[in-house]
Amino acid sequence: MISNKQRFIKNLGFLYLSRIIIIIFSLLINIIIIKRLGSSVYGDFAFGLTFVQYFIIFADLGLSQYGMIEVSNNIENVNFIVNNIVSANIILSTFSFIVILFLVNILKFGHVQKEILYVFAFLPLINSISVSWAITGLEKNFLFSISNLIGKTLYITLLYLLVLDKSYYFLAAIILLGSNFIISLIQFLYIRKFIASFRFGLNKFWITLKKGLPFGIMSGLFFIYGSLPIIFLKIFNTNKDIGYYYISYKFIFFIFTLFHLMSNASLPVIKSVVNNKDINKEKNIINELLRFGYTFAIPASFGIFAISHNLINLILGIKFIFVAHLLKIMAISIIFGTLGSIMIGYLTVKNLKTGIIKVGLLSSLYGLISGYLLIRYFGIYGAAILFLSIELVVMLLLIFITKSQIKMEINLLNLIKVVLSASLMAIIVIILNQGLILSIIIGAAVYFILSLVLKTITKKDLNEIKTFMASK
């Protein structure tokens, strides 16, 4: 019988296997776009995606999350569920499409921004036929991975071959649209195997919306606070600043996503403990998961700080070296986000949606107030600070809510040892100043050795991982 920690590692491994391709391709695509289009046009591209994402969230309104749960619990009714949710998505996405076109025409956007938004206006419509939520509910994650692999491979290939400089921005937007359409089409054609027929209907429209709304509010609020730096940069700064910030965010998001998977991977472990209604076990597993999280998130954030210049110089080139300064500021958010994702997983299992919504609402309000001041007076540095501070606020609010459920205990001595190990690692990497790959190897080796010496990673941890790997 495997332990809870081994179950956690097992779930994390499966999630990494199905998601890693997507996040790698996403980062590579953004690297190609900013290098080919330049930071200014890339800023238009980034704002366009952010602007339209508000309407994609509205068109979804939590229905995908609700649908995934419904399909997993009622596989025999998948035909009925898909018909209702896709029908609702089509109605909402059509409305979103019309509103986007209206706003593009009345708001004072530049010529390039307008043309990009005209193309991206079709994204909600394409997203309406995406049934990735149903595929996940049916536990057919291989199809989810394959469809994304095909679509992203096509996207990155066409970008590399056809988008030669910033004058090709419209083609870059069209390629993105086509890639999303292919992914959605593959998924929709596959799901037809599980449904007798697709029938557009309105008879369950309002009931379906009501059931998905709580999920929609949560995802909407968390997107709002995450997008605020880009919105304020559009108001007070230049598209070039948006480009610098957005690519910095994409690098951080790449690392953060790997750790964010801990939230999803820990759900089965947390759920089994919560179902037993044993508060002491709940406390122990959450405290253990938090220890596991910060043990690796702290060195990751310190490591990004240490290698940021080498990283940007190698991947983007010296003309984008300013991005390294933003990475140094934003890197610590990896710690806050990792710990927050574990607590969100726990609160989700406890069905404390109201608490999570409050976190999103308060964080968004904080972002609106502080974002106006930080970005107006400190520009792009203010945007990086805003991103970092919002993640800190989210983590603190989640700690407050989680502590109302269980007694959270952090081993302060162990935390100090982890910070000390990560700090020494970063200092050594900076002093040696080797190439990117060698710096990563040196950093990993130094941290691992210090962790064993200071016992922040124990022999029990290593034996459990070794036992799990042997069982595979």
pLDDT per position as a tens digit, 127-161: 888 877 777 777 676 777 788 888 889 999 999 99
pLDDT of residue 451: 86
Please report where in the chains the tokens 């018909």 appear, as a residue.
83
The total number of residues written for the chain in this structure: 472
Alpha-carbon distance of 43 to 245, in angstroms, equals 9
Alpha-carbon distance of 297 to 438, in angstroms, equals 20
Per-state percent for the chain, helix, strand, coil, to nearest 5: 85, 0, 15
Alpha-carbon distance of 443 to 422, in angstroms, equals 9
Stretches in the chain below the pLDDT threshold 50? 1, 11, 468-472
pLDDT of residue 16: 60
Alpha-carbon distance of 353 to 410, in angstroms, equals 25
pLDDT of residue 149: 84
pLDDT of residue 439: 92
Alpha-carbon distance of 335 to 307, in angstroms, equals 17
Please report where in the chains the tokens 């290593």 appear, as a residue.
462
pLDDT of residue 354: 83
Alpha-carbon distance of 335 to 185, in angstroms, equals 37
**Distance from the first to the final alpha carbon of the chain:** 13
Helices (H), 122-238: 123-128, 132-137, 141-162, 169-191, 205-236
Cβ atoms 294, 286 nearer than 8 A: no
pLDDT of residue 220: 81
pLDDT of residue 409: 80
Burial class (CB in 10 A: 0-12, 13-18, 19+), 283: middle
Instruction: Specify the DSSP class assigned to residue 76.
Output: G
